[in-house]
Structure 1
């Protein structure tokens, strides 16, 4: 979610703890070590988020966007980060069906 100034509110302040398309970019960047795991990208400009998206897309390319194809260390980091994010999102009332439309 971007605010009025076209900056990202940050993973923690994003809807349902970052269970949005932008939140997924940030979380995947954490998985691939493109940013530290504690980086929420709060205040990042749209351009900076788009550049991060490109880096994340490039990092996923060899694995076909499938966590099951990740090397063990990355697969474990993905599992850990996403399990924690899903648990937090559910505590905030998130449902996987929210973004199906």
Structure 2
């Protein structure tokens, strides 16, 4: 049986704009992880633990960036704007395909 591990946000598809990449990025926003942590090589149990921490961090804000305090909102905007710019430069199209 092969253990699946995360490739890391820096190697993830679409500049990390996947569900796992967004989770890592949100962990950076809330200071759960340092910005230098890519989570490369993390197994599913570790990623699940991170998910639970990130979910709990979002709860007071109803999981809405617009409800974040200014400092966190600025971090969120910075991290996601950078990822979106990089992804678009690599040909990412945010429109959903017919099979999505």
* TM-score normalised over the length of structure 2: 0.92
Q: After superposition, where does 1:18-97 map in structure 2 within 5 Å?
A: 18-97=16-95
Residue segments in structure 1 that go unaligned for 5+ positions in a row: none
Q: Distance in 2 between matches of 1:87 and 1:50?
A: 28
Q: Distance in 2 between matches of 1:92 and 1:9?
A: 18
Aligned residues: 98
Based on CA coordinates, which of the two structures has the bigger radius of gyration?
2
Residue segments in structure 2 that go unaligned for 5+ positions in a row: none
For the aligned residue pairs, the C-alpha RMSD in angstroms reads 1.5
Q: Distance in 1 between matches of 2:60 and 2:83?
A: 24
Q: 1:99: how far off?
A: 7.3
Q: Distance in 1 between matches of 2:97 and 2:6?
A: 19
Corresponding position of 1:5:
3
* TM-score normalised over the length of structure 1: 0.91
